[in-house]
Structure formats: structure tokens, C-alpha cells
Amino acid sequence: MIKTEDAVRMAGRVLRRYGTRDPDRLAQEMGIIVMARPFVKQKGAYKVIERNRFIFIKEDLHPVMHDIVLLHEIGHDTLHRDEAVSTGGFQEFNIFDMGNRRMEYEANIFAAQISLPDDEILEYIYRGYDVGQIARAMDSDINLVALKVAELNRQGYSFREQDFRGDFLK
């Protein structure tokens, strides 16, 4: 079972190994095939088919949402590949519906760690920005930023807790 700390550590390892935060480049360099699909409800899915790793992503996503969904799915590849193989892959309809779903939460933490560098988040916080302002400044989603702030608090910072919707990619 992966823990939150493991998701953070593994995101750091991916950043060091590939030297990029760009999700399309990461997927390519990691050997993951990304295919756009005309999904109606879901935004993305991760599957392993005959040892080939695939991410299927909704074709008409806003670029910011495309990047977040792609990083989330790369998180599943990095953190949960064995589970995906044993279950035939993950098909997600509410990608960020974290309810009591450990793997979704971990993939979200992974996406936040890759897309939102600690030093940039901390700089905005110390300049007095709230999560909405940080999300706009960093071209991200307010819920992903709130999740990142909660993770920073878990690591020892003591910022005001921010509410976030667990189903923000629904």
C-alpha cells in the first residue's frame, strides 16, 4: 500500500529522473502512450494492455485540465501499476473524487507535487496570496492548490487549512 509520503517521494524521483514538469513530455519519456478520446463523462483512464501502458484522455479538455488529468494518470502509472495490471486497468468517471478512495488521493498528491513546486507555492503564500489567487497565478485549479497546501502542512508547515472539493475533475 502506497502512503502519501511515498506519493510525494515518488513524484520527486520522477522530477529528478526526467527533469521536466511537462505532463506530455513526461508521458513520452516514460514510455506511456497517450491517446485522446471523445469521452462524454470521464476525463481520463489508465490501462496496461499486454505490458503497454496507456492513458486515454478526453480530447476537448481545457489545457490546464488536460495537464492535471494527465499528471493524475501518470501518478497511477507510477504508484499503482501493479493494481492496474491485476484489475485490468482503471476506468475513472470522477477522477478526483477522493471520497474513501486511497489511489485517487495518492494520484492527486502526485499531480500536485509535479505541477506545483513547493518554492513557488511558498513564495505566493508568503506574499499573501490565497489559494484562488495562487491557482490563477500558476495556471492551475484551486482544488489542486488547496490539496498542495494541505500536503505542505502535513510536512510541517502551519498554514490555514483550505477546503477543497474532492470531485473537482468531475
The model carries a pTM of 0.86
146 found inside a domain: yes
pLDDT at 157: 84
In this structure, the answer to whether residues 62 and 146 fall within a common structural domain is: no
What is the Cα–Cα distance from 120 to 118, expressed in whole angstroms? 6
In this structure, the answer to whether residues 95 and 144 fall within a common structural domain is: no
- If phi over 0 gives left and psi between -120 and 50 gives alpha, with beta otherwise, what is residue 63? alpha
What is the Cα–Cα distance from 139 to 30, expressed in whole angstroms? 24
9 found inside a domain: yes
169 found inside a domain: no
Count of domains observed in the chain: 2
pLDDT at 94: 45
Question: Hey, what's the torsion of the CAs at 6, 51, 74, 63, to 10 degrees?
Answer: 180
Residues in the chain where the model's pLDDT stays below 50: 93-100
In this structure, the answer to whether residues 91 and 60 fall within a common structural domain is: yes
Pairing of β 52-58 and β 44-49: antiparallel
The CATH number given to whatever domain includes residue 51 is 1.10.10.2910
